[in-house]
Amino acid sequence: MDREKVLEYIFNLMPMLNKKLFKDFHRFEMPRQQMELLFTIKKENGKPMKYYCKKLMISKPNLTTTSNKLIKEGLLERKTDEEDRRIINLFITDKGKEFLSVYREKIKKHMLEQIEVLSDEDIKILNKNFEQMKSIFSKLD
């Protein structure tokens, strides 16, 4: 019962965070899936396409289409594996890193504006609770 209650909180909290923190913000300068791929590759650069398919839970044809768009814009590059030419690895370019850096700053600025209405006490409570949540969720695979 308590575990189901946790899931209900998660199901309700995620859309609420999205709605409250990103309202009136033209969130994506590109489709969400492209942004997720860029952020994932920045964090875990140079892995095979198969790895990113599993990580993002998307099909290989879908990943190919998404990555091709980012490659065309100069944000990613594709290289064949040195040991096995059948394997294609994806790398973020300097332009891709810069794009994410600028985008992240835009998000931060917007979110800071949204939470400006909260009191210092509210912020302390949120920080404490998020630290606890992070600690607990880090126990999951």
Per residue in 2-12, pLDDT tens?
A: 989 988 988 88
Domain spans of the chain?
Answer: 2-137
Pick the residue with more confidence: 20 or 64? 64
- SS3 for 104-131 is HHHHHHHHHHHHCCCCHHHHHHHHHHHH
The architecture CATH gives domain 2-137: Orthogonal Bundle (1.10)
Model confidence, pTM: 0.73
Per residue in 85-129, pLDDT tens?
A: 899 999 999 999 999 999 889 888 888 988 999 999 999 999 999
Per residue in 21-80, pLDDT tens?
A: 776 665 556 788 898 999 999 999 999 999 999 999 999 999 999 999 999 999 999 999
